Structure 1
Amino acid sequence: MSKATIKQVAAEAEVSTATVSRVLNDSGYVSAEVKERVFGAIAKLNYQPSAIARSLKQDKTFMIGVIVPDISNPYFMGISRGIEDVVGPEGFQLMFCSSDEAPEKEARLLQLLHEKRVDAIVLATSGGNVANINSLRDNGQRMVLIDRRLEEEAGTNETGLPALDLVAEDNVQSAYELTKALLDDGHVRIGAVNGPTRVSTGRERLEGVLRAMKERGVEDRLLLYSGDFSAEGGIRAVRQFLNEEEKPTAIVSLNNQMSLGVLLELVGSGLRIPGDMAVASFGEVEAGRLLKEPGLYYVDQDPYEMGLQAGDLLLRLIRGENEAHSPSSKIFHHEVKRIHS
């Protein structure tokens, strides 16, 4: 059976195609009696409106692209849920993409979403794509940064356009306070597990660790492992630290996935936490509550609230409410907490 057209619906309801369009888009006055006839014709003919045609007419696809480094990370899942809870009731759907911390893949995904004519893009960048992002912005692509800044986020692009809207954490201060908690407990030989410094989270969190160590005059006692924000990175870091001639007495892990790897490897090595090795994590790790002697320090993040803020910024962008204003930055500061038995 061939697909019904809007002209066939109009003929069946004995109205014009413009009237059918007004009924479908709920725009303009149409009497209750005419609406009933139109909906009756739609049901009888099993008419399915064309999403493509509607998006071209309205200049909207009602799709928002979301690019994150690791779609399986609960942190980014929490952010995405917050975004969806804001934009979903307004009729928008999310398209999720994972860049796998690969700038080249991120560049392809950005171009793909732009070609799909998404109404906006949410980006937690893997770094290295400032030129591509500026080019898309020049072409009118709406975009909100989440969790991570661009390398040149504070400046402008070649055409003088301002920086993008940003929802992120106070990485420097939180990492500083997390490290300070270990120092206050008497630890000076500390192993830091960090991600790639090509992204702002890696740079800023390391800055916070170094600030705390320098403040105590023990920066030369720091051991550093630069990983890839993965559990495997945390495992490799612990193995490196345990092979040191002077082993650390504490580890500060600057990402929740790496922290999971740290805990797994320490427990697998027969070490007690915090009895044999104290641990501080940027972000809570649920597995930490299973430890026999709880005492894990962690930065109490709130990704869902960050998602809500990002969703609000997206709607304002799509509606054109931000055009007369400078892009905004919403920076979250989180407390350092400790898991207790």
Structure 2
Amino acid sequence: MSKATIKQVAAEANVSTATVSRVLNDSGYVSAEVKSRVFGAIAKMNYQPSAIARSLKQDRTYMIGIIVPDISNPYFMGISRGIEDVVGPEGFQLMFCSAGEVPEKEARLLQLLHEKRVDVIVLATSGGNVATINALIDNGQRMLLIDRRLEASETAMESDTAADSDTATDSDTTNDSESVTAIPPALDLVAEDNVRIAYELTKALLEDGHVRIGVVNGPTRVSTGRDRLEGVLRAMKEYGAEDRLLLYSGDFSTEGGIRAVRQFLGEPVKPTAIVSLNNKMSLGVLLELVQSGLRIPGDMAVASFGEVEAGRLLKEPGLYYVDQRPYEMGQRAGELVLRLLRGEGGEREPASEIFHHEVMRIR
């Protein structure tokens, strides 16, 4: 059986297609008797309105695209739940994407969501996509940043002479690309005070007498990796211990935390404490320390940027952690999403909502 159309419903109810549309969208006056006829025709013909057609007409899909680096990270899921609880009652649905900390994959996802005509993209960037983001915004895409800032990035731009390899001279080929700076757009941002929080987390270890500290950092191509490392270095310098820091550049993964511990334990002079600047890396740190037979904090103290629930299973771990509030951050992001959709504020300055979290300790 072929799918019923709005024209067929209108004919069955003996009304115009515009009247059927008003009934479906609950817009404009329609008498009770006519509504009854229209709903009767809809039921009789099992008519299913086209979401695509409706979105084209309303210029709205009621879809919010979410791109995060790691969809399995509870932190990003907490943010997403906060967004959903705010925008859901307004009729919006979320479409989740995970970039896996891969800028090239993030670029593809950005283009995909734009092609799907999502109303807003909420992005926790993996870095390197400022030019792509600028192009989408120029094409009318609304966007909001969560957790990570956008910063100027370098992109390669091929010259005209490099396009024809048969006629290019030696001097041509030495200039077949040039570096151009992609300036980030001014977008609403919901993030943490990463520098200050990492400073206070490191300071907690320093005040406990630890000066040889192993630092497990994330990729510095993203703002969280750079800012958190800056906070650590600031604290170490303040205590005159910057030359005793051991650094492992990780990838915000559990495996990265495991590899970091193995590197630190292989040092001629081992650290007495580890500060891990992401909750998933912190889980890897704890797993490898326990696997190595070390006591926490007796043999190795640990401080984590973000709570690791597994830490509570340890006996008197003395684990320092940052009491993040991703759900509240998500709620604020959801409010900003709705403000974008309502066009509130006109040419207002972009909002910058920075959360400061307290350093806690599991006794």
Same fold (TM over 0.5): yes
Cα distance, 1:321 vs structure 2: 1.2
1:223 aligns with 2:280: no
Corresponding residue number in structure 2 for 1:42: 42
1:160–1:126: structure 2 CA closer, same or farther, 3 Å change rule? closer
Cα distance, 1:33 vs structure 2: 2.2
8 A contact 1:162–1:326 mirrored in 2: no
State the number of aligned residues.
337
8 A contact 1:70–1:100 mirrored in 2: yes
8 A contact 2:205–2:273 mirrored in 1: yes
Corresponding residue number in structure 2 for 1:115: 115
Residue aligned with 2:144, SS: strand
Corresponding residue number in structure 2 for 1:128: 128
Cα distance, 1:163 vs structure 2: 0.8
Normalised TM-score (structure 1): 0.96
Normalised TM-score (structure 2): 0.91
Residue aligned with 1:80, SS: helix
CA distance in 2 between counterparts of 1:339 and 1:31 reads: 65
Structure 2 unaligned residues grouped into runs of 5+:
154-180
Which deviates more from structure 2 when the two are superposed, residues 315-324 or residues 207-216? 315-324
**Cα displacement string for residues 214-271 of structure 1 (whole angstroms, at most 9, x for unaligned residues):** 0011100100000100000000000000000110000000000000000000000001
RMSD over aligned Cα atoms = 1.6
Corresponding residue number in structure 1 for 2:309: 286
Corresponding residue number in structure 2 for 1:330: 353
8 A contact 2:150–2:184 mirrored in 1: no
Q: Which runs of 4+ in 1 moved over 6 A?
A: 158-161
CA distance in 2 between counterparts of 1:191 and 1:159 reads: 35
Residue aligned with 1:239, SS: helix
1:69 aligns with 2:69: yes
Map 1:183-222 onto structure 2 (within 5 A).
183-222=206-245
**Cα displacement string for residues 105-161 of structure 1 (whole angstroms, at most 9, x for unaligned residues):** 0001101111111111000000001111111111111000000001139xxxx9999
1:207–1:160: structure 2 CA closer, same or farther, 3 Å change rule? closer
Q: Which has the larger radius of gyration?
A: 2
8 A contact 1:162–1:327 mirrored in 2: no
8 A contact 2:134–2:185 mirrored in 1: no
8 A contact 2:130–2:184 mirrored in 1: no
Alignment-mate amino acid for residue 58 of structure 1: Q
Residue aligned with 1:327, SS: coil
CA distance in 2 between counterparts of 1:97 and 1:162 reads: 22
Map 1:127-276 onto structure 2 (within 5 A).
127-152=127-152, 163-276=186-299
Residue aligned with 2:66, SS: strand
CA distance in 2 between counterparts of 1:261 and 1:61 reads: 40
Cα distance, 1:32 vs structure 2: 2.1
Cα distance, 1:37 vs structure 2: 1.8
Residue aligned with 1:128, SS: coil
Cα distance, 1:324 vs structure 2: 2.3
